[in-house]
Amino acid sequence: MNYVRTAMLLALLTALFVLVGYAIGGQSGMVIAFVIAAGMNFISYWNADKIVLRMSGAQEVDERTAPELYDIVRQLARNANLPMPKVYLIHEDQPNAFATGRNPENAAVAATVGLLRNLSREEVAGVMAHELAHVQNRDTLIMTIAATIGGAISMLAQFGLLFGGSRDNNSPFGIIGILLMVILAPIAAALIQMAISRSREYQADRLGAEICQRPLWLASALEKIAGAAKRVQNQHAERNPATAHMFIINPLAGLRMDNLFSTHPPTDERISRLRAMASEMGQGGVSAAEGGPWGTRQEGPWG
């Protein structure tokens, strides 16, 4: 049912894109938007991960250029019985991360430099386990396509604002209708993305905690990331807000109206569920930075 619901929401995003085309150019605009949407869905299946990584300014790394991060991801992928994904670094000071790719065989995980600088090795492992959980649940294709279509809706709405007001435009709604569409379409797209993302975050938290074997590592990481996200801007995400739902914590700093349409469930509730899970596993007294599958406690090796 979760996949059926998500497919319906993706269909709504596509329909919204076509509706914006109709608002801007009437029937001809609707046909053009439909053709673009069909082509975009096809291209997104094969290339949306590359598009999102490029939008985020991510650069691929390996065991030579980022040995600690690469080793963590490799061990977690082994724990989860997943193929080794590609690993990327995003040069942003805000601690955050996301996963992308159309399937586990073509997956990628990306972490910001800020994540590596501000979290311990164990907390980074909790975050990367969460992202690998998205890969294992095959959420990454759905969330990446949603980001691509959501961004296209915003751009099409801006196009309508720039060119829809000309006298020879074919819009059935006139300039007032176009203005309303420019305002409402991105909001509607954000609401649909929110519906796609929120339930999947809880599932990825739980599975990620199972992959790294320590729910409190992820709980501690979420607390740190959420606090930092309010203070430190993620420039790439601010320029491309349609990608916000892909990150482990909403990367938008709340400078606009983003908090009214949060793409993520409440962080406090996520942490509470993870702590309850740790208690069920008999880990109620285990520190988030205490040794686990990687041995003794280590400070963040990235300084």
The binding site for Zn(2+) consists of 130, 134, 201
* 202, 196 Cβ separation under 8 angstroms: no
Euclidean distance between CA atoms 269 and 24, whole angstroms: 41
Given phi > 0 = left and psi -120 to 50 = alpha, else beta, which region is 174? left
Euclidean distance between CA atoms 239 and 175, whole angstroms: 26
What do you get for the CA distance between the two ends of the chain, in Å?
A: 44
Euclidean distance between CA atoms 206 and 208, whole angstroms: 5
Find all residues with CB under 8 Å of 291, minimum gap 6, and list them.
Answer: 122, 297
Burial code of 108-136, b = ≥16 C-beta within 10 A, e = fewer?
bbbbbbbbbebbbbbbbbbbbbbbbbbbb
* 267, 222 Cβ separation under 8 angstroms: yes
Catalytic residue status for 63: no
**Catalytic residue, candidates 68, 122, 131, 210:** 131
Q: Which helix (H) or strand (E) holds 11?
A: helix 2-55
Edge-to-edge strands of the sheet including 58-61?
58-61, 86-90, 108-112, 97-100
Angle between helices 215-229 and 121-136 (to 10 degrees): 100
Q: Which among 211, 215, 213, 217 is positioned nearest to 276, based on CA atoms?
A: 215
- In the annotated binding site, the residues are 130, 134, 201
Euclidean distance between CA atoms 303 and 300, whole angstroms: 6
Q: Which two tokens stand for residue 4?
A: 């059926």
Catalytic residue list: 131
